[in-house]
Amino acid sequence: MSFAEPRFRTHERVIDPTTSVIEVGGEIHVSTAPELTQALNAAIDGGRTRLVLDLGGVMFIDSTGLAILLSALRRVDALAVVCTNPTVLRLFEITRLDETFAIHDAVEPALRALAAA
């Protein structure tokens, strides 16, 4: 029996020298965690200290994924999350990370929140 490769993708959209939107799609778990870590590290190492993580295309996230987001939060000046998937939002609520992360329903309000921070 073989398992399908996990569906996962990231794309960085640079807004300005210190701000990026990182779009994430698919599943965030132990198998895809290295790719997400690499994308976040690349953005931060590139000088982006204000990030919007657009999780609009994320269908699933586990504790490994949440740990990566927390790690990124400690390394930047500001981080906003965009999420509309009720299942993923519920995980943020259950873990009380909805109190840690600024969660928005679209990218534009998240960018405005970063600009005001």
In this prediction, residue 106 carries a pLDDT of 97
At 97, is the pLDDT very low, low, confident or very high (cuts 50, 70, 90)? very high
Please give the average per-residue pLDDT across 33-47, as a whole number.
Answer: 96
In this prediction, residue 4 carries a pLDDT of 56
Residue whose tokens read 């073989």: 2
- Buried b / exposed e along 53-79 (16+ C-beta atoms within 10 A): bbbbebebbeebbbebbeebbeebebb
At 117, is the pLDDT very low, low, confident or very high (cuts 50, 70, 90)? confident
In this prediction, residue 7 carries a pLDDT of 82
Domains in the chain: ranges and CATH: 8-116 (3.30.750.24)
